[in-house]
Chains A and B, each alone.
Chain A
Amino acid sequence: MKYDVIVIGGGLAGLTSAIRCAEAGLKSVVISAGESALAFASGAIDVLGFDQHQSPIEDPFGHIKQLPAGHPYHKIGTESLRQSLAFFQAQMAAAGLTMGSHGQINHGRLTALGAMRPAWFSQKGAHTFSLAAPAAGIRHVAVVNLAGFRDFQPTLVAAGLSRQPGFADVAFTLADIKAETLNINARNAYELRSLELARTLKRDLFTQPNGLHILSSALQKAARNADLVVIPSVLAVAGGNDLMVELEQLSGLRICEVATLPPSLPGMRMAAALQQRFRHAGGLFLEGDQVLGGHFEQNRLLSINTRLNQDISMSASHFVLATGSFFSLGLVSDRHELKEPVFGLSVNGTADREQWSEECFMGGGQHRFSHTGVITDASLNPCYIGQTINNLYCVGAVLDGFNPVQAGCAGGVAIGTGWFAAERIISAMAHTPVRQVQEIC
């Protein structure tokens, strides 16, 4: 079986790459071993949030030149990064997911621990704070939980938020809307995760003709005229942002939904939107299979084998490795080394296990392992047994040279490198005849 492009890994980076390729008419397939980090992510996109002193940044693009030399942004360049973000935003909009931004600067997004993280895009249901003056116009915040949901603790949100600039004098109201008030049958509330709560609400509340009114009045009552109402993101996966807008209109409140512990509903929305776009562009998404290795010849990767199809190799003109970091098994560690398990590409991890992490895990220091990743050249091509592989591109969290958590750049790197690799592939394929693209459904 022969494809133009085989993308390994169906997370933010892989799908961005795949959508761009499929849209350009390339015969594209994504093989993904399982759910990606998107189901855990906030559903917002960070481009560059913090400088090297851990201070929040307003203008990420202005700070790119100060990033350490190996950072992927230096390879793809500012212009590609901008174009990729515009591409991403348009794709999400086409799938019905509006990504809001504050023009050319970062905004603040609230986390479930009450922290403020600089972000570039946020979904409509999340309130975007001004980074410079997050508390502007806010004197009273209500943090409201639903049905005693355990993965959201209003006390923690309030404690964290009150430490943010300008929030010291803001009043906080903490409340929980009981399951009985909403008429939902939450049986064992202790077992409800965000998605199960959303399913319960859908079944018991939103099927009632006045369901949204019941929720709206309950919120009004709990919020006591607060300027901002913070709730956990548990209302709905599909159409969740529109529901928030309706709820704001109905209640007259300003409401901010906050992504919770996994599964994160805003993250799931983004994953669904990306997959939908890929399918619409004619791409084939194969989940549940794992790429085990490949066949190289000189400086090209010719074909790959997967766990479920070990005796049938799949070949392509170009390949994209978007297998993520340690969490997604794009990188693994054993007793002796840190490595890239699919092909055994060169990584920059040190052999000395002692040095992989700081002694104090949450001490705020930089762990070496989070810089670990596949070494690539300026075209994002990796190195396999001393040879640069010209038709294999590495994108997203599998790359070396950046610390996504510390710099707040995970989303931007995934989208930027994914798009960049796709552009390279498209121009390399430009000589070969391209199929007619069909917008389907």
Chain B
Amino acid sequence: MLNLLDTSFDHCIKCNVCTTRCPVAEANPDYPGPKQAGPDGERLRIKNPQLYDEALKYCTNCKRCEVACPSGVQVGTVIQRAKAKHGGFHQGPREFILSHTDLVGTLSSTAAPVVNVATGLKPVKTLLDKVLGIDKRQSLPKYSRQTFRAWFDPDRQTKFERKICFFHGCFTNYNDPTVGKHLVAVLNAMNIGVTLLKKEKCCGVPLMANGFFARARNNAQLNLGQFADKLNDNNRVECIIATEPSCAMTLRDEYPEVLQVDNYALRDRILFASAFIARELADGNVPKMKPVNLRVAYHSPCHLIKQGGVIHTMELLNGIPGLEVVMLDQKCCGMSGTYGFKKENYQTSQRIGEAVFDQLTTMDVDYVVTDCESCKMQIEMNTGYKVLHPITVMAQSLA
């Protein structure tokens, strides 16, 4: 059932706990904080939509407010919905390029060598900065010449009796297929085959962040239709798996809560990769692994915390022989997808991330591990550490 009239904001006791946890309110005085932007503002907006506060655009949708609220108010979601309903988004070419990841990805992958060199050049970066407002201090993600889908060979998966369907997302497909390849290796080593959707659209995270809600809703409907085809197919696909925490959160939670697209019938079968793997490990399906002998620092992405998934990734990592895991303080890195790329957010994004960068500089580890590609970019850019996905570490240990 869809909860169309959410009144969770009425449970707010005005304790301000959410504001104590909001990384944006801490870094940017222009943002009024989740209590005002969420439950307080909602009352005003219901009365008069013109009371919508433009400053809501600063919210990164990290959901930390929601995780901390002792009264169960869906603070972040209230804000997301208000943005969807009232937000006057500026939608110039920059927003289009940053958000239409699948379209731009298709174009860029084809011309990957040229695009990668070009976007790394100083004059191009200055141009992007001046013309589009994409901050030149940010390194842009590279594009992969061969997409994940082009690399993937379905014929090699037919021999497995068990099957899952991998929702690869835009980044794995167009920018860096590494994690996707590693997921296939890990699952195959666990005697599980991988299939892909016939057609996959961007989950909608960057679209929503840039105000393209109608487009995101279309994508949601298309993806859910594809999921239904896969899961109801009689060649028994167990579930849909995503390796990107924000994709998983969106497919499971934001579709019904923000986009109001009903996924009730399928939701339980959409899983974050480490949730699936941790459950397999617990059930005794452990692939052959050799010790990796590494010491790594684990950074937990906001959207994984929100889904209650940190425990699964920790289980997965703890299951890898010879891996010593040090958990970082669970702070936000500040990148938040396309947020940190925008010139006007660059400083806020860096300020938010400082705590993570500072903690890492005091540590002596071989690698940083995190599940999120956007956290990875931010941490690599600011600390000099190489960042690995948990699935990649597991793939390295396969015997």
Q: Which residues of A contact B (CB under 8 A)?
A: 1-2, 29, 33-36, 39-40, 185, 187, 191, 193, 195-196, 199-200, 203, 262-263, 268, 276, 279, 284-289, 306-312, 314, 327-329, 438, 440-441
The verdict on A39 contacting B72 (CB below 8 Å), with A187-B29, A284-B311, A286-B308 known, is: no
Q: Which residues of A contact B324 (CB under 8 A)?
A: 438
Contact of A289 among B32, B279, B308, B329 (CB under 8 A): B308
Q: Which residues of A contact B71 (CB under 8 A)?
A: 34
Q: Which residues of A contact B19 (CB under 8 A)?
A: 193, 195-196, 263
Q: Is B377's beta carbon under 8 Å from chain A?
A: no
- CA of A203 to CA of B314, assembled, Å: 36
The verdict on A34 contacting B275 (CB below 8 Å), with A29-B311, A308-B308 known, is: no
* 0/1 string, B289-326, CB within 8 A of A gives 1: 00000000000000001111111101100000000101
**Is the pair A1, B311 in contact by a Cβ cutoff of 8 Å?**
yes
**Is the pair B326, A440 in contact by a Cβ cutoff of 8 Å?**
yes
Q: Which residues of A contact B93 (CB under 8 A)?
A: none
- CA of A438 to CA of B26, assembled, Å: 33
Contact of B327 among A40, A284, A327 (CB under 8 A): A284
Q: Which residues of B contact A34 (CB under 8 A)?
A: 17, 67-72
**Is the pair B20, A263 in contact by a Cβ cutoff of 8 Å?**
yes
The verdict on A2 contacting B282 (CB below 8 Å), with A262-B15, A328-B70 known, is: yes
Q: 27 A-B contacts, Cβ less than 8 Å apart?
A: A1-B282, A1-B315, A34-B72, A35-B17, A39-B15, A39-B17, A191-B32, A195-B20, A199-B25, A203-B29, A262-B15, A262-B16, A285-B330, A286-B310, A286-B311, A287-B67, A287-B68, A288-B66, A288-B67, A288-B305, A288-B306, A308-B308, A308-B309, A311-B268, A312-B278, A312-B279, A438-B324
Task: Considering the complex, give the chain A residue whose CB is closest to the CB of B73.
Answer: A34
Q: Which 3 A-B pairs have the closest CB atoms?
A: A308-B308, A288-B67, A34-B70
A425 to chain B, nearest CB (A): 20
Q: Which residues of A contact B140 (CB under 8 A)?
A: none
- CA of A33 to CA of B19, assembled, Å: 17
A259 to chain B, nearest CB (A): 14
B245 to chain A, nearest CB (A): 13
The verdict on A35 contacting B308 (CB below 8 Å), with A1-B278, A193-B19, A311-B268 known, is: no
**Is the pair B67, A262 in contact by a Cβ cutoff of 8 Å?**
no
Contact of B69 among A35, A40, A203, A307 (CB under 8 A): A35
- CA of A69 to CA of B275, assembled, Å: 47
> Is chain B's binding surface mostly helix, strand, loop or mixed?
helix
Task: Considering the complex, give the chain A residue whose CB is closest to the CB of B40.
Answer: A191
- CA of A196 to CA of B32, assembled, Å: 10
Task: Considering the complex, give the chain B residue whose CB is closest to the CB of A193.
Answer: B16
Q: Is B363's beta carbon under 8 Å from chain A?
A: yes
Task: Considering the complex, give the chain A residue whose CB is closest to the CB of B14.
Answer: A262
Q: Is B33's beta carbon under 8 Å from chain A?
A: yes
- CA of A36 to CA of B306, assembled, Å: 17
- CA of A306 to CA of B307, assembled, Å: 11
- CA of A35 to CA of B73, assembled, Å: 12
Q: Is B60's beta carbon under 8 Å from chain A?
A: no
Q: Which residues of B contact A (CB under 8 A)?
A: 15-17, 19-21, 25-26, 29, 32-33, 36, 66-72, 268, 275, 278-279, 282, 305-312, 314-315, 324, 326-327, 329-330, 362-363
Task: Considering the complex, give the chain B residue whose CB is closest to the CB of A440.
Answer: B326
The verdict on A39 contacting B308 (CB below 8 Å), with A34-B67, A284-B314 known, is: no
- CA of A36 to CA of B21, assembled, Å: 13
**Is the pair B308, A306 in contact by a Cβ cutoff of 8 Å?**
yes
A77 to chain B, nearest CB (A): 32
B286 to chain A, nearest CB (A): 14
Q: Which residues of B contact A268 (CB under 8 A)?
A: 20
B41 to chain A, nearest CB (A): 12
- CA of A301 to CA of B296, assembled, Å: 34
Contact of A200 among B29, B33, B68 (CB under 8 A): B29
Task: Considering the complex, give the chain A residue whose CB is closest to the CB of B35.
Answer: A193
Q: Which residues of A contact B21 (CB under 8 A)?
A: 35
Task: Considering the complex, give the chain A residue whose CB is closest to the CB of B362.
Answer: A441
Q: Which residues of A contact B363 (CB under 8 A)?
A: 441
Q: Which residues of B contact A312 (CB under 8 A)?
A: 275, 278-279, 312
- CA of A146 to CA of B311, assembled, Å: 43
Q: Which residues of B contact A285 (CB under 8 A)?
A: 330
- CA of A33 to CA of B68, assembled, Å: 8
- CA of A328 to CA of B70, assembled, Å: 7
- CA of A199 to CA of B275, assembled, Å: 37
The verdict on A263 contacting B17 (CB below 8 Å), with A2-B282, A34-B69, A284-B310 known, is: yes
Interface centre among B68, B312, B362 (most CB of A within 10 A): B68
**Is the pair A309, B20 in contact by a Cβ cutoff of 8 Å?**
no
- CA of A1 to CA of B309, assembled, Å: 13
Q: Which residues of A contact B67 (CB under 8 A)?
A: 34, 287-288
- CA of A268 to CA of B26, assembled, Å: 15
**Is the pair B15, A40 in contact by a Cβ cutoff of 8 Å?**
yes
- CA of A23 to CA of B362, assembled, Å: 23
**Is the pair B329, A35 in contact by a Cβ cutoff of 8 Å?**
no
Q: Which residues of A contact B275 (CB under 8 A)?
A: 309, 312
- CA of A203 to CA of B330, assembled, Å: 23
Q: Which residues of B contact A284 (CB under 8 A)?
A: 310-311, 314, 327
**Is the pair B70, A35 in contact by a Cβ cutoff of 8 Å?**
yes
**Is the pair A199, B314 in contact by a Cβ cutoff of 8 Å?**
no
B307 to chain A, nearest CB (A): 6
Task: Considering the complex, give the chain A residue whose CB is closest to the CB of B305.
Answer: A288
B20 to chain A, nearest CB (A): 5
- CA of A312 to CA of B283, assembled, Å: 11
